[in-house]
Structure 1
Amino acid sequence: MSFRFANHRSFRDEQQLNLTPAYRSDEHEPAVRVVGIFGANASGKSNCLHALAFMRRFVIFSDREVEPGLGVAREPYRMTPDSLEAPSQYVVDLDLSGVRHTYGYTLDNDGVLEEWLYHYPRKRKRRVFERTGDSYTWGEDSGQRVGLERIAEVTAPTALFLSTIARFDHRHTAPGGTEPEPLRDTYQWFQKMHSRSQPHLGNRLNGIYGAGWPESDASRRTLVELLRAADVGIVNVVEVTSAVTDEQPILFRPSDLEPGNERTMTRNRRRERKRLRFAHQGPAGEVQFELAEESTGTQQLLGLAIEAADVLSGGGTMCVDEIDASLHPLLTAKLIGLFQSIASNPRHSQLIFTSHDAALLGTIDTEEILHRDEIWFTEKGADGASTLYPLTDFKPRREGENRQRRYLNGNYGAVPDLSTHLFEQALAARGGADDAAAR
């Protein structure tokens, strides 16, 4: 997998986050399972994930959220006037069921300029569709061109064709039925992506009393394992069911009354409500607590752990901005290890995160937390434009290189340029102001 984008927030020029393994040649592993992006404050780390989240949201919602004539609410690079009008571009290369797919689009303030989807069955490039404005070109092997054309006709200038066709649940299958369905498969990849910004608890905690709790046993075991590894005192999660009584309004009209003389009455309705309780080990045995009784940090961890368990169980990509805002480095290493492991991640799910924590560039018990091709950096230039680049550009050694120390020493760039003189000058000015106020 790779993600290319241009003219988004602090990124002016085209950048590529390439998840193709640089040192491993296993054909069953077409992409690395974990990527960590490091850099100084305001260097562009979060903007990189925001670009991917923007692409996903536009794919999922552009046919519903964007009104024709109102333009597109994009976020181009703003430091030069030309960039405000220049198009933004977003492209993903995906491996879906062993078949490469390339999907992308460009847009400006008024709408979608270009959109395209290719796939590569038997390693040969096949066009699914190409779009320029409202003009479409279809794949030569399309057996459902009439249906595609009808949906293209109702695709708004500010909406993606992929979004519109998904609303009609349309499937594009190559003749013979032996090939993947590229339109559906590509859209479902975006659907399965989880994007999480910090700090927030997320919508998952709102539904934690029922739908938010993982359904599969494997997901539940992963969640409990993460909570135990976090050393927050939780040894088990228990689902309990209680009866709840609600008052339900009903419309009452006796048979001898004319319409218009109705009156409202209420009746009690009993239903079952599922809740989660969190077991802590005490001197006299286990004691269960409600979610609201747990610390904010534990609630943050729980929301992240639920999403991780779902992604590991069901497949997909999980993006976490500032992962160190919720997790201790040892726990982050544990989460990374779950995604790296074939045993705990049989569906080849991916974790992409940003962090300031240089400890994640080091080792635990002599084992490196992140592999050489799983580390990326962002840096902002004097013109305010961010760049994204991998550790592999520096030809790192496989063993014996202290990457944590080299990063903090500035050998890889992507660290803040701190000025001791400016700090001292600011403190001196503050001290003078305080003395004047005292007089």
Structure 2
Amino acid sequence: MLESFRASNFASFKDEIYITTLCNSSRKELIKTNTFECRNNRYNKVTYIFGANGSGKTNLFLALNKLRQIIVMSTVIGSKSNKILEVPIIKKELNSPIENFKFDSDSKYKPTLFGVDIIIDEILYSYEFEILDGKIISELLTKKNKRKEVLIKRTSPSFEDIILRSDLAKFKSNVNVVRENSLCLAMAALLNNKLANDIINEIMGIDIINMANMNGNTRFNEENTNEEFIQRYLDILKSVDPTVKNLIIDLKENGDIPIDEDDEFQSKDVIIKNIRVDVSSVHDVYKEHKKVSEVELPFLKYESNGTIKLFGILPSIFEALDTGGVLFIDELENGLHPLVVEFIIKLFNDTSINPKNAQLICSTHNTLLLEKCRRDQVWFMDKNEYGESKLSRLSDFLNIRKNDNISEKYLKGVFGAIPKF
């Protein structure tokens, strides 16, 4: 599970941007439905990010995706596979500088920081690193159960300046494989250090979706297209299109590398396998309202854009709910009816459907959601005249009464993070 994420000197984030799912313990509203307990703390199941267009909301998702890409690139570098290294998009990624903050003359000389706090088996792991000109400047991994313990401490690009302790001490004999442009934790995982593998898998298991760029079939695989999953998809799709009686999903492997250079959210680990997904929907054909036959139609051609988007995110939603995973969705309501969005939120808040405490972090403009959540679930992204994005939490605002209309106050600009016409 995810406790928090942070980044600095990236895109519109000059200073450190920080978001957490940790609850404000003084707030008791909706505590049984919207939160869950872990490590003697309470955490939100759903977290919302509001903000004007261009405020930097998407940059938060891009920052998390960039952290994951750097992990993947570290393993690619470490694998020394010429075939993979020669893939054009991989070469482009390796040669691309980090998109640092552009509106300060000193930012290009400063490192970019990414950090994530995750919980595995009731233990908090905090991992962060700084990168400048493609080199890892620092790297820190700590573990906290009853007390805080440093597992990795790196103070320069050189492997000679890496200190390893406890569960990572076994990697000392191989630490020389860590290059100046690769992460120590990723290399330890590549060489089968168990804890490193667990942490990397937890981070890479976070799913990130950009609803504005959904094509309806990117999340399907052999595991989530069996009869059980198809029935789960149907149960939901029938509520938005009652004519859909069945789905036929056909997976076909291609030999080409499935990377879209224009999709900044696409994880580079998709180079491992290219699967084309063909989806057809089955509908009844009637004569005078009596069924006479069936017709099979190409799903992506005949269904609405909203239905296609809903269908496209269902595998990720069920994956998170079934495993207790973490799902990031940018522009959740993009193409979806407000009641569909509300239904998705209810899936995560329903203990019977979400017994493993899956988490959803989403950006949205749907102000109706502000009236059905805890105040510590809501974050506002705002950008100032200097191009700096800032995050603030609704629960940190003073003089907000329990019965206040939060949606109305937000649209009036009380919390900022709205267009200024």
Residue type matched to 2:46 in 1? V
Residue type matched to 2:362 in 1? F
Conserved 8 A contact 2:219-2:315: no
Conserved 8 A contact 1:220-1:309: no
1:232 aligned partner = 241
Conserved 8 A contact 1:223-1:309: no
**In the TM superposition, what is the alpha-carbon distance from 1:303 to its structure 2 partner?**
0.7
**In the TM superposition, what is the alpha-carbon distance from 1:289 to its structure 2 partner?**
3.3
Match 2:409 to one of 406, 410, 423: 406
Deviations 1:91-140 (A, max 9, x none): 1111212111111111111410111111123x21122221122211122x
Conserved 8 A contact 1:223-1:305: yes
2:103 aligned partner = 79
1:176 aligned partner = none
In structure 2, distance between residues paired with 1:241 and 1:72: 36
Matched, 1:326 2:352: no
Residue type matched to 1:79 in 2? F
Residue type matched to 1:87 in 2? P
Residue type matched to 1:82 in 2? D
Query: What secondary structure does 1:190 align onto?
Result: helix
Match 1:41 to one of 50, 53, 61: 53
Conserved 8 A contact 1:72-1:109: no
2:256 aligned partner = none
Alignment CA distance shift 1:63-1:10 (3 Å): same
The 5 Å alignment of 1:249-398 reads: 276-280=279-283, 283-285=289-291, 288-292=296-300, 293-362=302-371, 368=372, 370-395=373-398
In structure 1, distance between residues paired with 2:308 and 2:98: 32
Conserved 8 A contact 1:49-1:319: yes
Matched, 1:167 2:190: yes
Unaligned runs of 5+ in 2: 78-89, 253-275
1:193 aligned partner = 206
The alignment's TM-score, normalised by the length of structure 2, stands at 0.78
Residue type matched to 1:211 in 2? E
Conserved 8 A contact 1:297-1:326: yes
Alignment CA distance shift 1:279-1:153 (3 Å): same
Residue type matched to 1:389 in 2? S
Conserved 8 A contact 1:63-1:155: no
Query: What secondary structure does 1:407 align onto?
Result: helix
Query: What secondary structure does 1:205 align onto?
Result: coil
Deviations 1:18-58 (A, max 9, x none): 11011358634642111111111101111111111111221
Residue type matched to 2:410 in 1? Y
Residue type matched to 1:111 in 2? K
Query: What secondary structure does 2:211 align onto?
Result: coil
Query: What secondary structure does 1:324 align onto?
Result: coil
Higher relative contact order (CA 8 A, sep 6+): 2
In structure 1, distance between residues paired with 2:403 and 2:181: 52
Residue type matched to 1:136 in 2? I
The alignment's TM-score, normalised by the length of structure 1, stands at 0.75
Match 1:153 to one of 176, 187, 190: 176
Query: What secondary structure does 1:91 align onto?
Result: strand
1:92 aligned partner = 116
Match 2:23 to one of 21, 24, 32: 21
RMSD in angstroms over aligned alpha carbons? 2.9
1:115 aligned partner = 139
Conserved 8 A contact 1:36-1:352: yes
2:270 aligned partner = none
1:2 aligned partner = 4
Alignment CA distance shift 1:215-1:169 (3 Å): farther
Match 2:197 to one of 171, 184, 192: 184
Give the structure with higher Rg (CA): 1
2:65 aligned partner = 53
Query: What secondary structure does 2:106 align onto?
Result: helix
Percent identity at matched positions? 26
**In the TM superposition, what is the alpha-carbon distance from 1:312 to its structure 2 partner?**
1.3
Alignment CA distance shift 1:44-1:160 (3 Å): same
**In the TM superposition, what is the alpha-carbon distance from 1:221 to its structure 2 partner?**
5.3
Residue type matched to 1:340 in 2? N
More deviation in 378-387 or 127-136? 127-136
Alignment CA distance shift 1:379-1:278 (3 Å): same
Residue type matched to 2:237 in 1? L
Match 1:103 to one of 104, 127, 139: 127
In structure 1, distance between residues paired with 2:396 and 2:56: 19
Query: What secondary structure does 1:325 align onto?
Result: coil
Conserved 8 A contact 1:2-1:93: yes
In structure 2, distance between residues paired with 1:13 and 1:96: 28
Alignment CA distance shift 1:158-1:81 (3 Å): same
Matched, 1:138 2:164: yes
Residue type matched to 1:93 in 2? D
Alignment CA distance shift 1:111-1:233 (3 Å): same
Conserved 8 A contact 1:6-1:13: yes
Unaligned runs of 5+ in 1: 172-180, 245-272, 363-367, 419-439
Query: What secondary structure does 1:211 align onto?
Result: coil
1:127 aligned partner = 150
